A = this chain, B = another copy of it.
Amino acid sequence: MGLQSISKHPVEGLTLPGHYYTSDEVFALENERLFRHLWYFVGRGEQLREPGDYFVEKVAGENLIITLDEQLRPRAFYNVCRHRGTRLVGEKEGCFERGRIVCPYHCWTYACDGELLAAPQMDDRPDFRKEEWPLHEVGIEAWAGFLLVNLADHPCPIREAFDRVWEKFRPWRLGELRVAHRKTYELETNWKLTFENFSECYHCGPVHPGLSKLSPLRSASNDLTEGLFLGGPMDLAFQSMTFSGRACAATIRDLNEDQRRKVYYYTLMPNLLLAPHPDFVVCWRLDPQSANRTRIVCEWLFEPEAVESPGFDPAEAIEFWDVTNRQDWEVCEQTFDGVSSDAYRPGPWSPTETMPRMFDREVLKLLGHAHLR
């Protein structure tokens, strides 16, 4: 039977074997080689303003404190006291009083650069030296307004991966945009099905009946076609992606004529989906919990001038993408259900599904696996 595969190995031109979506072993490998090894999106820089501001995020199962030090540099630490291992911070976000991180158990006290400042009664232990017990630190970088962490012992320089696409995103002034709305979704699916779903519009007709009159389905094209970041533009039939077709804000000012008539869809490995519109940008941060559960935080970003303008109302943008999100998440869950069956066999990618196919190839490359031909 020509194309068909009963192989456990991935085969070029076919979707991935089922265990890539369902097995705990593959997920553990992804944790190691993707989520802990690549630069992982944890939030927006605007979440932190003053020294000592912090938020807590889980990355690849690890609880991290993201904060600003005295020099207003972002810093990231494991949320683990060096004395007994106690979780230092229980709140989701806040500001460390006087820039001190104080363990609730025995008052070991750290600065926001991780230095151990005080450890009560430890002076009585002659072999103890405070400078040997700073918080365990994690690599962190700011890029285009996003904060990214890297749990590797020796993170690869972020510029290598990101500089290449910086010019492309520059006109949207991502670093200055502000979060006007945030919504969190809990999905019973594998995170890769969500990336694959975002990467093709073959499903737009059946899944998003309202979308085709806003953006002609056959207009999808790709201008990033290999590497960690993939995707490209689709035409807009009206002003923006809202059910009315109307924009929710003034057009972002640096866009050229072409950019003003398009919506762009990019996947940023390992955990960001990004959709620049003429008047706003939607981003989806994925937080894969396990092979079969994925949390997605969706944020709607607007220019500060728009957010502050009288009568600013992002409701139409929020409604359109919330409806569209839920349509997508439902088929992602239904597909997870199906690929969990013993009867599932890799199926043939259609000619329009080039980006999910390329995404799979990049994932396999990072995992150290390869397609059979």
Q: Which of A's residues lie within 8 Å of B, judged by CB?
A: 1-4, 13, 15, 18, 61-63, 78-88, 90, 103-107, 119-122, 124-125, 127-129, 132-133, 136, 202-203, 205-207, 330-331, 334-335, 337-339, 341-345, 347-348, 350-352
Number of copies: 3
Point out the residues of chain B lying under 8 angstroms from A82, CB to CB. 345, 347
- The reply to whether A347 and B84 form a contact with Cβ atoms under 8 Å apart is yes
Listed from nearest, the 4 A-B pairs whose CB atoms lie closest are A78-B343, A85-B339, A85-B338, A124-B351
A15 to B133 CA separation, bound complex (whole angstroms): 14
Interchain nearest-CB distance for A21 vs B (Å): 8
Known A121-B352, A133-B348; 18 more pairs at CB < 8 Å: A4-B132, A63-B337, A80-B341, A80-B344, A82-B347, A83-B348, A88-B338, A103-B206, A104-B330, A105-B206, A105-B335, A107-B206, A120-B205, A120-B350, A121-B351, A124-B351, A128-B348, A136-B343
- The reply to whether B132 and A341 form a contact with Cβ atoms under 8 Å apart is no
- The reply to whether A63 and B341 form a contact with Cβ atoms under 8 Å apart is yes
- The reply to whether B348 and A18 form a contact with Cβ atoms under 8 Å apart is no
A13 to B119 CA separation, bound complex (whole angstroms): 16
- The reply to whether B127 and A62 form a contact with Cβ atoms under 8 Å apart is no
Show 13 A/B contacts (Cβ-Cβ < 8 Å), sorted by A: A62-B342, A78-B341, A81-B347, A82-B345, A86-B334, A104-B206, A105-B206, A105-B335, A106-B206, A120-B202, A122-B348, A122-B350, A133-B348
